[in-house]
Structures are given as C-alpha cells and as structure tokens.
Structure 1
Amino acid sequence: MEGSFELTLQIVIAVLAGITAQVTAEFLKVPSIVFLLLFGILLGPDALDFLHPHELGVGLEVLVALSVAIILFEGGLNLELRDLGRVSGSLRNLVTIGTLVTLIGGGMAAHWLGEFPWSIAFLYASLVVVTGPTVIGPLLKQVQVDRQVATLLESEGVLIDPVGAILAVVVLDTILNSSASPLEIFSGLVLRLGIGAVIGGISGFTLGFILKNTNFLAEDLKNLVVLAGVWGLFGLAQFSRSESGLMATVVAGIVVRASSIPEERLLRRFKGQLTVLCVSVLFVLLAADLSIASIFALGWGSVLTVLTLMLVIRPISVALCTFNSDLRWRQKLFLAWIAPRGIVSASVASLFAILLTDKGINGGESIKALVFLTIMMTVFIQGLSARWVAKGLKISSLEATGAVIIGCNALGRLMGRLFRQQGESVVLIDTDPEACRQAQSEGLSVFQSSALDPNVLEEAGIQSMGTFMALTSNGEVNMVLAQRALEEFHPPRVFAVFPSNSPTNSSSSKTKVNPAFVDQQLIKTWNQYLIEEQVKLGKTCFKEPGLSLQQAHFQALIRAGELLPLLIKRQGSLQVVKATQEWQEGDEIIYLLHDPRPKLLKRLSGAVQASSGAIQSTKELVVEPLPEVEEVPIASPVNELTLDSFKEAVNP
C-alpha cells in the first residue's frame, strides 16, 4: 500500500510540475521545454529531492512508449498534405540527406571533440538527428515565421522523429551485435520503416472510415476510439517489428488527416491536449532522472560537440538540402539556426542508457547526459533567440503584406483599392458575377469562386498575404470563412464582419478571428452609402496636444454611425481597424465619413433635368471612384466636444 502511494505521489507531482511549467511558459512567451527541464531538475534528487523516476521501474518505459505514440500521431494529424507538397523537395532532402549529414558529422564531432569511442559517438549522433516537434510547435506559435518556413520545420520535426528513432535502434543493435553486416543494418532500417508505414496506412484508413460512418457514436467517444486505435496500432507494429510503431503512428495521423473526417477539428484539439499532458509529464520525469554531475563530467569537449552540431553541421545540412529550392537566403538561414531537440531524443536516450547498463557496456549514462546537454543548449540558445533572429531576418509572418478580401461589394472594393494604393497586393474573391465584373473594372484582381474552396485561396496567394478579410453581407458566413482560412493557412491577421451580439463574437478572440470595423448591420448601411456616393474618404493622425479630446471626438462619431474607420497605420505597419480598436498617439487612420450632400445634389440635378425634358437612364449612372485619401485634421482641442463641431472640422 505504501509503495503504491509513493508511485501515485510521483505521478501527481510530475503532472502538477509539468502543467505549471506550461502555464509559466505561456505567460512569459517562451518555449515550454525550458521550464519543463528546469522544474524537472529542480524537483529531482540533485536538488529538492521530491521526484524519483527510477522508482517507477519498467512503468517509466511503458509511459514513455505510449506517450511518444500519442505525440507522433498528433504530429502526423497536424501535417497538411497541401503544405507538404509546396516543400516536398526540401523536406525529402532534410529527412534523408540531412539525417545522413547529421549522423556522420555528429559522430565525428562526438569522437574527435567529445573523445567518445566511435560506436558510442555514432549512437549519440543517431539520437540527435531528430528535431523535436513538441518544441518546434510551441516555438513557431510564438515566433510566427512565414508559412513556408513553418511548414518545413514542423514537417521535418514530425517525419524525422520515427526515422531517427529507428536509426538509433539500428545503431544500438549494431553495437550489441557487432557481427552484423552493412546489408543487415540497412535491411533492418528499411524493414522497420516499411512495416510501420504499411500498418500505419491501413490503420489510419480504417480509423478514418470508422469516424465518418459511425454517426451513432458521440463525439467524445469517437476521440476515445481514436486513442484506443492509436495505442492498438502502435502495439501491433511493435509486436511485428520492434520500434516500427513510431513510424506507424506518424503515417496513421497523416492518413486520418487526409480522410477529411467531420470531427477533425475536435479530434485535433483532443489529441493536442493529450500531447501537452504527455510532454509535460515525460520531460519533468526524464529531467528529474538526470544526474547533473554526469553533465559536468562531460567536460568542454562535449560543449564544443554540441556547438559544432548547431553552428557547423546543421547549416551544412540545410545548405545541401535546400540548394535547388525556391527558398530565399533569409529563410535558409533561419532553418539553419532552428533545430532544437526534444522528447524523442530524451526518451530514447533514457531507454538506451538502461539497456547499455544492463548489457554491461560503458557509456550509457554519458550518452544520456550528452543528449540532455544537446537538448538544453539547442532549446535555450536557439529557442530563446528565435524571435530575434526571425525579426532580424525579416521573415516574421507578422510583417507580411497584402490582403485576400472575400466579398466584391462596395466596401470590399474600396478596401482593395486602399490596400493597392498603399503599395500592397490584393485579391478579391466572390461568387457574384456582376460584383466581380465591377471589381475588375476598377482594376482589381478577382477570383469568381467560393472562398470555402482551399484551392481557390491557395491560387489567390493566401500563403504569402498578411491579411485575410471576410466582408460578405452574411455575418455567419464571414465567421465560417475566417475560421476555415485560419485553420487551413494560418494567415497572420484574420478579420471578419459579423453582428456584435453573435455567439461567435465572444469566441472570436479564442479563434484569433478579429471583428473588423463595426457591427454587421452598420456595414450594410455603409455599403449603401458607398453605392449612393454619400461618403467622404479622409485621413487623420492622433497627435498631442489634446490627444484624449481628439479620440473622444472620433469615438463619438463612430458611435453615432457617422464615421467608419477602415485602416490604421501604426509604426509603419498598415492594418485593418478592429471593432475594439484602441487608439494611440501617432496612429494614422483612414476612414469614411457619412456625407449626404451628394445625394441631395443629384436629386436637385435630376429635378432640373426632368423639368427640361431630359431624362437620364439609370444604366448610364456610373459611380465615380472615390477621391485619393486626403489629409483631414481632427477638430481642434479647444473646440467644444460635439458631433456638429467634429463634422464641420472633418467635412468642411
């Protein structure tokens, strides 16, 4: 009874520490593995002595194996085949040529600099050929580089994990069975990959079929069916050939994603939460089981080994693997810098340390210590500096320009012309032929098709655009379009117009869909104003003195429905105005002001023409383009705070 309580306490402490590390990392916007390692070491025998993972015995190995299966399946589930197609050549090279370069280069560095025997040096190199998807994923969420680089890093991390793990097993088998021939070594590697791919493909197809054809199952139960299926196929693959289960889980995840199951978003969310839990517990336990003394005993030669891996071998690998790609040198440089190691390296190294010790072979603890040193250095140095490197190389997705606008109505066309006037590329998408022709007549690039089709969005160039806007007349449709675009392509800035009292409005912050401009009903009114030419386009800048009074004037007109802010230029960056936008000093705002006088003048002109017998056909009426954006001053701070005084100032 006392023993079971101790084991329970160990798991409880690991879970609490892991989730606390995740929360802390989320708050400070740094990779979670940083705090997972720190908390694990702090709670381990070398510090506070709360955690003793070795007491779990064989249970730790089982926990590691099942958790890694979930992690790799979730990684495969997040891979989009469309994205893989755009980087397929570079990705193939990184998984094959890159693995070979890291294996050879890492082994040579560990032998010559770390002074390890050749066999142990290459075992270390096989363990660090992988880049951790559990580290890359959170890192890219915080750094937000352009989509092509992000896809390549994410895909490399997921696909190279099973390859690296199987390669490490083959190297270990070679050490334990030194009489194995090169043909046997190569056939063992290919056989494990092949068996895993076949079992994973069949199992993934079966899971997809079950999820699409079992409508009687509740969504929560379907998630548990997938969990049971993942562990079942992992066990089947492991039984067929040891370590082939890793490849099987990745392939199964990719196939399930390609099956386009109805509950895909809920399934990915469920598996993502499980992955966070598994990573949190495993890293804390494995870090707690690490001997700090063994790391210090490695000496400076091991530090030089890791630095060589980061600063020499990785850049050479990226240069060779992306030589004929369309990647820019800035993107290649970022790829060369970012290669943090993660949970698979740590877990497999921990298992190998146990196996080598049981076989009476020296070097098991040293290998584990060197792998953890590699994880620490790559995560701390590369992970914490990634944001600054991306910013310095100017490949952050937040700096992307251009816009994809859904809706060729009057407001959509105006926004397109404004973006184009500011020197940014813009593409409009609509299903209405007449609206599309009107947009084309104004010189805008238009796709007459449905924005629900990802191929249309891809052809429109959404991957390279900084802004996605849904401006149709239907607020619910706008929200669906924005969410689909966000899930499929992850644009840096996503906007949609929908009613303020809509249930989706309260959840928009969670889905990263920003409410644009103002309420949907008011947008319909402004579209009508544009059609009837009852607007004036203006630009103003908030400046001191009297900043608060200027802002109050501005907000008063917005609330009265007399002014619609469209774009805001802040620190050189042009963005769409949010419905909840907060104004700052120096903001340059382009807006529409309601001006009913043109309609009155048209009526007077029509009355005069009618009295003279000249009747003008409505078909001959052409809406003239809005004038160029002009500088219109905000009301003077000494003016009284009234709507009339403000309108007189902005619309003399």
Structure 2
Amino acid sequence: MEASFEITLQMVIAVIAGISAQVIAEYLKLPSIVFLLLFGILLGSDGMNVLHPQVLGAGLEVIVALSTAVILFEGGLNLELRELGKVSGSLRNLVTVGTLITLLGGSMAAHWLGEFPWAIAFLYASLVVVTGPTVISPLLRTIKVDRQVGTLLEGEAVLIDPVGAILAVVVLDTVLNGETDPWMAISGLTLRLGIGGSIGAAGGWCLAFMFKRAHFISDELKNLVVLAGLWGLFTLAQLSRSESGLMATVVAGVVLGSASLPEERLLRRFKGQLTILGVSVLFILLAADLSIASIFALGWGSLFTVLVLMFVVRPLNIGICTINSDLNWRQKLFLSWVAPRGIVAASVASLFSIFLTERGINGGDSIKALVFLTIIMTVACQGLTAGWVANWLQISSTQATGVVIVGCNPLSLLIARLFQERGEAVSMIDTDPVACQQAQAQNLKVFSSSALDTTVLEEAGLASMGTFLAMTNNGEVNYVLAQRAVEEFQPPRVLAVFPRNPQASTSINRNRIDRAFGSDIPIKTWNEYINSDRVKLGTTTLSEAGFALQQAHLQALIWAGELVPLLLEREDRLLVVPATEQWQPGDRLIYLLHDPRPNLLKRLSGATPAKRLALEKLPEVEEIPLPSQNVSTI
C-alpha cells in the first residue's frame, strides 16, 4: 500500500510541476523546456529531494516509450506536406546527409575535446543528431518565424527523431557487441526504418478509413480510438523489430494528417494536449533523475564539445544541406543558430545509461550527463535568444507581407489595389462569379470559391501572407472566416469587419482577431459611396507637434461616419488599420472620406475654403486619385 501511494505521489508531483512550468512559460513567452528542466532539477535529489523517478522502476520506461510515441505522432500529424514540398530537397539532406555530418562531427569533438573513447563518442553523437519537436514546435509558436524556415525546422525535428533514435540503437548494438560488421549495422538501420514505415503507413491508412466511414462513432470516441490505434501500431512495430516503433508513429501521423479528415481539428487539439502533458511529465522526471555532480565532473573538454557541436557542426550541416536551396543567408544563419535538443535525446540517453551500466561498460552516467549538458546549453543559448535573432535577421513572420482578402466589393478592391501598387502579393476570394470577374479585370489574383475551404486558403497563399482580411457584407460570416484562418494557418495579422456581439467577444480566438478599420462600418453604404464617386482617398501624416489635435480630429470624423481609416504606413510597412490601433507620431494614414454636403469635396480637392471650414479641414491632406475605371490609379 505504501509503495503504490509513493508511486502515485511521484506522478502527481511530476504532473503538477510540469503543468506549472508550462503555465509560467506561456505567461513569460519563453520555451517551456527551460522551466521543465529547472523544476525537475529543483525537485530532484540535488534540489529539494521530493521527486524520485527511480521509485517508478520499469514504469518509467513504459511512460517514456508511450509518451514519445504520442509526441512523434502529433509531430507527423502537423507536418504540412505541401509546405514540405517547397523545402523537400533541403529537408531530405538534413535527415540523411545532415545526420551523417552531425554523427561524425559530434563524435570527433567528443573524442578529441571530451576525451571519450571512440565507441562512447559515437554513441553520444548518435544521441544528439536529433533536434526534437518537443522543443522546436513550442519555440516556433512563440517566435513566429518565416513560414519556409519554420516548416524546415519542424520537418527536420519530426523526421530526424525516429531516424536518430534508431541510429542510436544501431550504435549501441555495435558498442555492446564490439565485433558488429558495419554493413550489418547499416542493413539493421534500413530494416528498422522500412518495417516501421510500412506498419505506420498501413495503420495510418486504416485509421483514416475508419475516421471517414465509421459515422456511428462519436468525435470524442474517435480520438480515443486513434490513441489506441497509435499505441497498437507502436507496439506491433516494436515486436516486429526493436526500435522501429518510432518510425511507425511518425509515418502514421503523416498519413492521417494528409487524409483531409472532417474532424481533423478536434484530433489535432486532442493530440496536442496529450503531447503537452507527456512532454511536461517526462522532462520533469528525467531532469529530477539527473545528477548535477556528474555534469560538473565532465570537465571543460565536454563544455567545448557542446560548443563545437553548436557553432561548428551545425552551421556546417546547414551550409552543406541547403547549398542548392532558395533560402537566403538570413534564413540559413537562423537555421544554423537554432537546433535545441529535446525529449528523445534525454529519454534515450537515460535508457542507454541503464543498459551500459547493466553490461558493466563504463561511460553510461557520463553519456547521460553530456547529453543533458547539450540539452541545457542548446535550450538556454538558442531557445532563449531565437526570437531576438529572428527579429535581428528580419525573418519573423510578423514582418511577412502580402494580404488575402475575402469579399470582392468596391471597398475591398480599393484596398487590394493599394497593396498591389505597393508591390505586395494580393489574393482575393469570393463566391460571386460577377464580383470575381470585376477583380480579375483589375489584374488581381482571384479564387472563385468559399473561404471556409482550407484548400482554397492554402492555394491563395495564406500560409506565407502577412495579413488575412474578411470583409464581406455579412459580419458574422466574416468573423467565422477569421476564426478559420487563425485555427488553420495562424497568420500574423487577422482582421475582419464584424459587429460587436457577445459571441465574438467571448471567442477563444478573440486575442488573435482584430476588428478592421473602426467601429461598425456599413460596408454596403461605403460601397455605394465609391460606386457613385462620393468619396475621396487621402493621406495624412501624424506629426509630433500636433499629434493630439490631429488624432482627436480624425477620431471625431470616424465617429461621425464621415471617414474610414483604411491603411497605416509605419516603418515602411503597410498595415490594415485595426479598430484598436494606437496611432503614433510619424504614422502615415490612408483614409476614405465622405461628406454629404455638396461643396466639401471640392474644397478639400483644392477650392478656396470658406472660413467656417477652417476647423474641419484635415491637417496635411494629400489628395490621391481613387483607383477605378474612370480615375487614374495611384
């Protein structure tokens, strides 16, 4: 009874500590692994001595195996095959040639600098060839890098994990059986990958078939069926050939993710929550089992080994593997900088330490300590600075340009033309064939379909666009479309024209969706104004001296329904104006102006103003011809 209570207590402590670390990381916008490692070490034997993973016995290995299967399945599920096609050559090189480069470079550094025997040095290098989705995915959610870079990093992390784990097993077999033939090792690696991939592909197809045909199973139960199927595939692959289960889970996730399932969003959310729980518990337990003294006992040579791995081997890896890609030097430099290690390296190193100790081979504890030193240094150095480096290199997705606009009406066409004249990519979506023809007549890229279809959004290029704008005549539809864009693509800026209502204000995505332009603007009315030439397009630059007066005057016109702020030019970037935007001195505002009084537009366009108009005149107004068939464009 006491033993079972002790195991329960250990698991409860691990779960509470892990979720607490996740919450703190979410609040501080930092990689969660930083706090998971910190909490684990503090709770372990070298800290408060309240968490003892060894109490779990063989159960720890079971937790590690099943959790890792879920983590890799979720990574495969989230892989975007269409995006991978853009970087397939580089990704293939990273998983193959890059693995070999890291294996050789890491082993030489561990042998010459860390003074490890060649066998142990190769074993260490095989453990750290992986980067790991458990670190990369949360990191990318935090820093929001360029889509192409993010896809390559996440694809490498997911695909190289099973390859690295299997490679490590092959190297371990070589170490334990000293006389293993190299060709036998290569054939063993290939066989494990083939068996795991075949079982994963077949199992993933069966799961997708079940999802589409078994309508009698509820959505919640389907998620659990997939979980059971996933663990079944993992176990089947493991029984067929040891360590082939990881490859099976990745391939099953990729196949299921590419099957266009109707309940795919619910499945992704469920597996994402399981992954967070698994990562949290595993890192806490493994970090608590780490001896800090063993890390300090490694000496300076091991520190230099990790530094060489980070600043020599990784840049060399990226340079060779992306030599024929279309990535620019900024993207390559960021890829060279970011390669934090994660849960697979930690869990496999912990298991290998046990195996080596049981066989009476020295170096098991040192291997584990060096792998954790690598995790700590790469996460602390690269994970904490990745956002700053991305901004410095200007590859953050928040700096992405281009816009996808839903709704082909006169006002949206005007905005599209303004972006197009600026040289930014523009895609428009509408279900009305006549409206689409009008947009095509102005040389705009148009998709005649529903924006609820994620395939259409993908074809429109939303994955690489900086802005999504929904501005049909139906506000509720606009908000639903914006929600869809956030859930599926997460573009940096999502705006929609929608009314104030309780449903919108309480949405889980309320912090990601902005109301466009201003207070409830009547789209139909302004479209009529544009069609009847009762508007003028103008700009004004907010000066430092008269900023307060200018802002107050503009806000008064907006609330009076006489002016709609469309776009904001700030630091050479063109942005759709959100309703809650805080204007700054130096901003250049592009607006649409209307006034029912017949002489006002003439006076604004250059006629001699009457005295009573002096207070109504916008400061620094620069009239811009309105893009239309009758008026010259900008």
TM-score exceeds 0.5: yes
Match of 1:279 in 2: 279
Q: Which residue of 2 aligns with 1:247?
A: 247
Q: Distance in 2 between matches of 1:268 and 1:474?
A: 29
| Residue 327 of structure 1, CA deviation | 1.2
- In structure 2, the partner of 1:473 is 473
Per the TM alignment, residue 83 of structure 1 is displaced from its structure 2 partner at its CA by: 1.2
Counterparts of 2:249 and 2:184, CA distance in 1: 25
Aligned-residue sequence identity (percent) comes to 68
Shift of residue 429, structure 1, vs aligned partner: 3.2
Q: Displacement, 1:295?
A: 0.3
Paired position in structure 2 for 1:126:
126
1:40 aligns with 2:48: no
Deviation of 1:104 (Å): 1.0
Q: Provide the C-alpha distance between the structure 2 equivalents of 1:630 and 1:379, rounded to a whole number of angstroms.
A: 59
- Residue matched to 1:294: 294
Residue 145 of structure 1 contacts residue 390 of structure 1 at CA under 8 Å; is this kept in 2?
Answer: yes
1:544-598 deviation line (CA, Å, top 9, x unaligned): 5565554444334333333222112334432111233334444432222222246
Aligned position for 2:383: 383
Return closer, same or farther for 1:510/1:359 CA change in 2, 3 Å cut-off.
farther
Partner of 2:629: none
Partner residue in 2 for 1:230:
230
Correspondence for 2:187: 187
Distance 2:55 2:397 in 1: 46
Structure 1 counterpart of 2:108? 108
1:147 Cα offset (Å): 0.5
1:507 partner SS: coil
Moved more, 584-593 or 153-162: 584-593
> In structure 2, how many angstroms separate the alpha carbons of the residues matched to 1:560 and 1:209?
57
2:368 maps to which residue? 368
- Please state how far the C-alpha of 1:648 moved relative to its aligned partner: 5.0
Residues 236-260 of structure 1, C-alpha deviations (whole Å, 9 max, x = no match): 1111111111111111111111121
Instruction: Find the aligned partners of 2:285 and 2:73 in 1 and give their Cα distance.
Output: 21
Query: What letter is aligned with 2:221?
Result: L
Deviation at 1:445, TM superposition (A): 4.1
Checking the alignment, whether the CA contact within 8 Å between 1:483 and 1:511 is kept in structure 2 is no
Counterpart of 2:178 in structure 1 is 178
Q: Provide the C-alpha distance between the structure 2 equivalents of 1:78 and 1:443, rounded to a whole number of angstroms.
A: 35
Q: 2: CA distance between counterparts of 1:77 and 1:347? A: 22
Q: Match for 1:516: what amino acid? A: A
Tell me how far apart the structure 1 counterparts of residues 522 and 330 of structure 2 sit (CA, whole Å). Answer: 44
Q: Give unpaired runs (5+ residues) of structure 1.
A: 602-625, 632-638
- Listed one character per residue, the Cα deviations across residues 89-127 of structure 1 (whole Å, up to 9, x for unaligned) are 111111011111111111111111111011110000000
1:312 and 2:303 aligned = no
Q: What is the 5 A alignment of 1:534-613?
A: 534-543=534-543, 547-548=547-548, 550-597=550-597
Residue 418 of structure 2 is matched in structure 1 by 418
Aligned equivalents of 1:410 and 1:117: distance in 2? Answer: 72
The question of whether the paired residues in 1 share the 8 Å contact of 2:504 and 2:510 is answered with no
Give, in angstroms, the shift of residue 487 of structure 1. 4.3
CA shift in 2, pair 1:272/1:357, >3 Å: same
Deviation at 1:37, TM superposition (A): 0.7
Aligned to 1:532: 532
| Letter of the 2:73 counterpart | F
Cα offset, 1:169, TM superposition: 0.7
Match of 1:144 in 2: 144
Aligned residue for 1:324, secondary structure, equals coil
What displacement does 1:478 show? 2.9
Larger displacement relative to structure 2 (370-379 or 424-433): 424-433
Aligned to 2:71: 71
What does residue 616 of structure 1 align with?
A: none
Question: CA shift at 1:382, angstroms?
Answer: 0.9
**Aligned twin of 2:630:** none
Give the RMSD, CA atoms, in angstroms.
Answer: 2.6
CA deviation map 1:451-470 (0-9, x unaligned)? 45555545544444321222
Q: Deviations over 1:136-193 (max 9, x none)?
A: 0111112111101100000100010000001101111111112221222112111111
1:302-331 deviation digits (Å, cap 9, x = unpaired): 111111111111111111111111111211
How far apart, in 1, do the equivalents of 2:511 and 2:525 lie?
A: 27
Q: Is the 8 A contact 1:234 1:245 kept in 2?
A: yes
SS at match of 2:592: strand
Range moving further from structure 2, 543-552 or 323-332: 543-552
**Counterpart check, 1:217 vs 2:222:** no
Partner of 1:81: 81
- 1:289 is displaced (CA, Å) by 0.4
Partner of 2:405, secondary structure, is: strand
Aligned-partner Cα distance in 2 for 1:511–1:122: 48
Task: Give the letter aligned to residue 264 of structure 2.
Answer: E
Bigger shift: residues 401-410 or 447-456: 447-456
- Residue 31 in structure 1 maps to residue 20 in structure 2: no
- The amino acid of 2:513's aligned partner reads V
Distance of 1:427 and 1:502 partners within structure 2: 31
1:511 CA displacement? 7.2
- Assess if the C-alpha contact under 8 Å between 2:483 and 2:509 holds in 1: no
Q: 1:267, CA displacement in angstroms?
A: 1.0
Instruction: Point out the more displaced range, 100-109 or 420-429.
Output: 420-429
Amino acid at match of 1:107: S
Letter in 2 for 1:161: D
Task: Give the aligned residue type for 2:5.
Answer: F
Task: Tell me how far apart the structure 2 counterparts of residues 575 and 470 of structure 1 sit (CA, whole Å).
Answer: 14
Tell me the secondary structure at the aligned position of residue 566 of structure 2: strand
How much has 1:87 moved relative to structure 2? 1.2
Instruction: Report how far residue 483 of structure 1 moved.
Output: 3.8
Look up the SS of the partner of 2:427 in the other structure: strand
> In structure 2, what is the Cα distance between the partners aligned to 1:266 and 1:540?
46
Alpha-carbon distance in structure 1 between the residues aligned to 2:240 and 2:616? 78
The change in CA–CA distance for 1:266 and 1:504 in structure 2 (over 3 A counts) is farther
Contact 2:120/2:367 (<8 A) preserved: yes
Distance change >3 Å, CA 576–CA 263, structure 1 → 2? same
Question: Aligned to 1:509, what secondary structure does the other structure show?
Answer: coil
* Contact 1:542–1:550, Cα closer than 8 Å, also in 2: yes
Q: For residues 420-439 of structure 1, what are the structure 2 equivalents within 5 Å?
A: 420-439=420-439
Query: Deviation per CA, 1:587-627, whole angstroms, max 9, x where unpaired?
Result: 432222222246x99xxxxxxxxxxxxxxxxxxxxxxxx99
Structure 1 SS opposite 2:16: helix
How far does the alpha carbon of each residue in 1:451-498 deviate from its partner, in whole angstroms, 9 at most, with x for none? 455555455444443212222223344344434444444422222223
d(CA) in 2 for partners of 1:423 and 1:118? 56
1:611 corresponds to which residue? none
Structure 2: segments with no counterpart, 5+ residues: 607-611, 624-634
Answer yes or no: is the 8 Å Cα contact 1:174–1:185 preserved in 2. yes
Could you tell me how far 1:217 is from its partner in structure 2?
A: 2.3
> Residue 649 and residue 339 in structure 1: after superposition, are their counterparts in 2 closer, same or farther (change >3 A)?
closer
CA contact (8 A) 2:98 2:317 kept: yes
Q: Does 1:15 align with 2:18?
A: no
The alpha-carbon distance between structure 1 residues 525 and 505, as it changes in their structure 2 partners (threshold 3 A), is farther
Taking structure 2 as the reference length, what is the TM-score of the superposition?
A: 0.91
User: Within 2, Cα distance between the matches of 1:630 and 1:248?
Assistant: 69
User: How many pairs are equivalent?
Assistant: 615
| TM-score calculated relative to the size of structure 1 | 0.89
User: Could you tell me which amino acid in structure 1 is paired with residue 204 of structure 2?
Assistant: G
1:96 aligns with 2:96: yes
Code of the aligned partner of 1:304: F
The one-letter amino acid of 1:241's match is: R
Q: Is the 8 A contact 2:519 2:559 kept in 1?
A: no
Q: Is 1:156 matched with 2:156?
A: yes
Shift in Å, 1:421: 3.9
8 Å CA contact retained: 1:166, 1:189: yes
Matched position secondary structure for 2:522: helix
How far off is 1:268 after superposition? Answer: 0.6
Instruction: Check conservation: 1:475, 1:497, Cα contact below 8 A.
Output: yes
Q: In 1, distance between residues paired with 2:393 and 2:429?
A: 32
**Which residue of structure 1 lines up, in the alignment, with residue 5 of structure 2?**
5
- The one-letter amino acid of 1:81's match is L
- How far apart in 2 are the matches of 1:477 and 1:203? 38
Deviation of 1:297 after TM superposition, in Å, equals 0.6
Structure 1 residues 334 and 428: CA distance shift in structure 2, 3 A: same
Change over 3 Å in CA distance of 1:455–1:8 after alignment to 2 = closer
Would the aligned equivalents of 1:516 and 1:577 in 2 still touch at CA under 8 Å? yes
Equivalent position amino acid for 2:87 in 1? V
Asked if 1 retains the 8 angstrom alpha-carbon contact of 2:204 and 2:253, the reply is: yes
